[in-house]
Amino acid sequence: MIEFNYETAFKLKDEEKIKNWISSCILHYGFTEGELNYIFCDDAYLLKLNVEFLEHDTFTDIISFDYTLGKLISGDIFISIERVKENAKIFSQTLDNELNRVIIHGVLHYIGYKDKTEGEKLLMRAEEDACLKLLES
């Protein structure tokens, strides 16, 4: 089950379409959908989590807490809408495209993709692009 929660003045345009897309991406990789909670928030909210749980005093666009068991994908994904908007400008993307990339980024971490090294980042970006194509089709 996928749930969207809002801790800031923001609302997804088509929650059902996004839920179906996330579910199809999970199935595409051979995993099963468990409980996924997306929490859309602002920079201050996410910074507090970053400091408290990760000991990083920096802004970020996403923090995910992975509760996946085997092939059952579950977790809490916190997304800063402020950071996503800023990154969309920096990367010359639409807000929707950048937001969808971040939404699926958390799930890809749960599936096992990493992004610490340059090689891992390239692979993560390729998988994000593959998932974004599923949304377009």
Binding residues for Zn(2+) are: 105, 109, 115
Burial profile 21-60: b = 16 or more Cβ within 10 angstroms, e = fewer = bbbebbeebebebbebbbbbbebebbbebbeeeeeeeeeb
Q: Which residue is listed with tokens 């377009």?
A: 136
3-state SS, residue 14: coil
> How far is C-alpha 103 from the geometric centre of its chain's CA atoms?
3
Q: Write out the binding residues.
A: 105, 109, 115
CB 80 within 8 A of CB 59: yes
